[in-house]
Structure 1
Amino acid sequence: MKEALLVIDYTIDFVAEDGKLTCGLPGQQLERYIVDTTKDFIERQQFVVIPNDIHEENDPFHPETALFPPHNIRGTEGRHLFGELQSLYEANQARVIWMDKTRYSAFAGTNLDILLRERNIRTVHLMGVCTDICILHTAIDAYNLGYEIVIHTGGVASFDMEAHEFALKHFKNVLNAKVIE
């Protein structure tokens, strides 16, 4: 069965200690799991997409401008993938798709749904940060588009633990996602 792995927003700005909107240690502790799972998907020739937040500096029209400090600004180091995932991506660019996204969901305003359907993919595995924001919104859109959803608890984190726990329950109880340890 063809499946896709989406590694969402696992960037320096969202994960590194000095990231502009970091979830800090909880995000850093995901690195080994995310890297190993990504390697596994690549080796099994499954579809891997890395959707990443992109913002323009001082954009007064983007809705996140009023909610969060500037982060993942085009052309900054903060948009690079965190840790070993960056070198894994660089070594596998022919088999991994980098996707810029401007909203929480990896489906909003992108061609992700088209790419998945072209490949007859019906199951999406979600990992990255933040569980209760970009992972959740991507999962909701995946659900509404008819995809089966797999959430890897060892591959998601947030800067808000209460919201993280809510999202994990929501994935399972409302979106019928398979939540795996």
Structure 2
Amino acid sequence: MTKALISIDYTYDFVADDGKLTAGKPAQAIETALVDTTRKAYEAGDYIFFAIDAHDEDDPFHPESKLFPPHNIKGTSGRHLYGELAPLYDAIKEDSRVFWMDKRHYSAFSGTDLDIRLRERKVDTVVLTGVLSDICVLHTAIDAYNLGYQIEIVEGAIAALTDEAHQFALNHFQHVLGAKII
């Protein structure tokens, strides 16, 4: 079994109290688990992908512009990794097993070469962490399922805007996608 951890959108705009589309305290509460999970995956020799929203300022064609306030705008501090994940990334980013991927859509697979990179490395299992449980993490999990990957969700390392949305996502991961909740 070859694993890749996909760290999704754990950025200032999604986590900080004054972030543009913040999950606030629930997202801040997962910081230690998310960082520990990332560190352990790196130490185990797994591949690590940081899949981070990258939006253009004032893009009227992007569907999210009608749903959410502008967030994770290219060139802004809103795209910076939040908290202790930032120095961890800085310490490991030069390793050939660590990747930064800009994404425009909810799923880390949509419009990126993630699937190609995983298949080149014979990855069969993706481990998902980050935010938001019911949006970007869920859509990434759905695409991973449809592409034939085994899915592991680190329950303590994902968060949503509301507890109801988080619980919906956990149920969907487990009972619809067959994900292993760890």
Shorter-chain TM-score: which interval?
over 0.9
Aligned residue in 1 for 2:17: 17
Cα deviation for residue 153 of structure 1 reads: 0.6
Secondary structure of the residue aligned to 2:7 is strand
- From 99, 102, 120, give the equivalent of 1:100: 102
Q: TM-score, normalised by structure 1?
A: 0.98
Aligned residue in 2 for 1:172: 174
1:147 aligns with 2:155: no
Secondary structure of the residue aligned to 1:152 is strand
Cα deviation for residue 163 of structure 1 reads: 1.4
Give 1:4-153 correspondences, 5 Å limit. 4-95=4-95, 96-153=98-155
Gaps of 5+ in 2: none
- Where does structure 1 differ by over 4 angstroms across 4 or more consecutive aligned residues? none
Give the whole-Å Cα distance in 2 for the aligned partners of 1:89 and 1:9: 13
Report the identity percentage: 60
Give the whole-Å Cα distance in 1 for the aligned partners of 2:29 and 2:145: 28
Cα deviation for residue 160 of structure 1 reads: 2.1
Give the whole-Å Cα distance in 1 for the aligned partners of 2:66 and 2:162: 19
Cα deviation for residue 41 of structure 1 reads: 1.1
Secondary structure of the residue aligned to 1:170 is helix
Secondary structure of the residue aligned to 1:117 is helix
Give the whole-Å Cα distance in 1 for the aligned partners of 2:17 and 2:121: 37
Secondary structure of the residue aligned to 1:103 is coil
Match for 1:121: what amino acid?
A: V
| Alignment coverage as a number of residue pairs | 180
Cα deviation for residue 128 of structure 1 reads: 0.2
Cα deviation for residue 91 of structure 1 reads: 1.1
Secondary structure of the residue aligned to 2:99 is strand
Match for 2:45: what amino acid?
A: Q
Give the whole-Å Cα distance in 1 for the aligned partners of 2:41 and 2:120: 18
Give the whole-Å Cα distance in 2 for the aligned partners of 1:127 and 1:91: 19
- From 138, 160, 163, give the equivalent of 1:161: 163
What RMSD over aligned residues (CA atoms) do the two structures have, in Å? 0.7
Give the whole-Å Cα distance in 2 for the aligned partners of 1:99 and 1:122: 19
* 1:47-81 per-position Cα deviation (integer Å, ceiling 9, x unaligned): 00000001011100000000000000000000000
Secondary structure of the residue aligned to 1:48 is strand
> Mean Cα displacement is larger for which, 136-145 or 162-171?
162-171
Secondary structure of the residue aligned to 1:26 is helix
* 1:119-165 per-position Cα deviation (integer Å, ceiling 9, x unaligned): 10000000100000000000000000000000111000011221111
Q: TM-score, normalised by structure 2?
A: 0.97
Give the whole-Å Cα distance in 1 for the aligned partners of 2:166 and 2:45: 30
